[in-house]
A and B are shown apart, each in its own frame.
Chain A
Amino acid sequence: NAGVTQTPKFQVLKTGQSMTLQCAQDMNHEYMSWYRQDPGMGLRLIHYSVGAGITDQGEVPNGYNVSRSTTEDFPLRLLSAAPSQTSVYFCASSNFGNTEAFFGQGTRLTVV
């Protein structure tokens, strides 16, 4: 039981490039979500999903796309990377009716 797995752990992108951050969970959780954390700040919600095929925007969705084709996976796509998207990205999952969320180890993204 690996919990929530994020890949890659580190990534450097050039401005304008696109990429996908991967998130997978093996706990059969209905809810999954993506957050970004800038230095010295709390986490901010990007997108979330309450089940396969259902996604919604969070606090800071611009520049990011998500899809949820399976219960296990919730990839985050950066369409055209910008330096303002330099951050640490965390993925989380939780069960229906339970606010205890489990977080991945994070992806540290730098856009130059």
Chain B
Amino acid sequence: LAKTTQPISMDSYEGQEVNITCSHNNIATNDYITWYQQFPSQGPRFIIQGYKTKVTNEVASLFIPADRKSSTLSLPRVSLSDTAVYYCLVGAQGGKLIFGQGTELSVKP
């Protein structure tokens, strides 16, 4: 499973767009990229998944360049409730999710 690298922490203000980049240089051809969100004292929650180019849902967008060696999770107009840890996973399969340390996002008023 590909190793991922993310910033340990990020700060933002309410209403701003937040972009969290994840590096995964040894991603395999068949690997999908998946992002999870975790609030304190809760289990992680699936946000979005993609293979290439751009994926958008009601919560976030995921941008994946052509070489797929990185990906960027974009959260539009964040609010205080978006304060959480965000994890980037690559190649998650068969229930075998390998988490990195994640990015702790703090949204301030």
Contacts and interface: CB of A to CB of B under 8 A. Distances in A.
Contacts of B32: 99
B95 A31 contact: yes
Interface string A29-57: 01111010000011111001110000000
A109 B78 CA distance: 33
B95 A106 contact: no
B92 A99 contact: yes
A42 B102 contact: yes
Interface of A is mostly: strand
Contact of A33 (B45, B46, B89, B95): B95
Interface in A88-112: 90, 92-94, 99-106
Q: How large is the interface on B (under 10, 10 to 19, 20 to 34, 35 or more residues)?
A: 20 to 34
Interface centre among B34, B87, B98 (most CB of A within 10 A): B98
Given A42-B101, A99-B32, A31 B94 contact: yes
Given A42-B87, A42-B102, A106-B41, A100 B97 contact: no
Contact of A59 (B93, B94, B98, B101): B98
A104 B100 contact: no
Interface residues of A, number: 28
Interface string A75-91: 00000000000000010
B55 to A, nearest CB: 13
Interface of A: 4, 30-33, 35, 41-45, 48-50, 58-59, 90, 92-94, 99-106
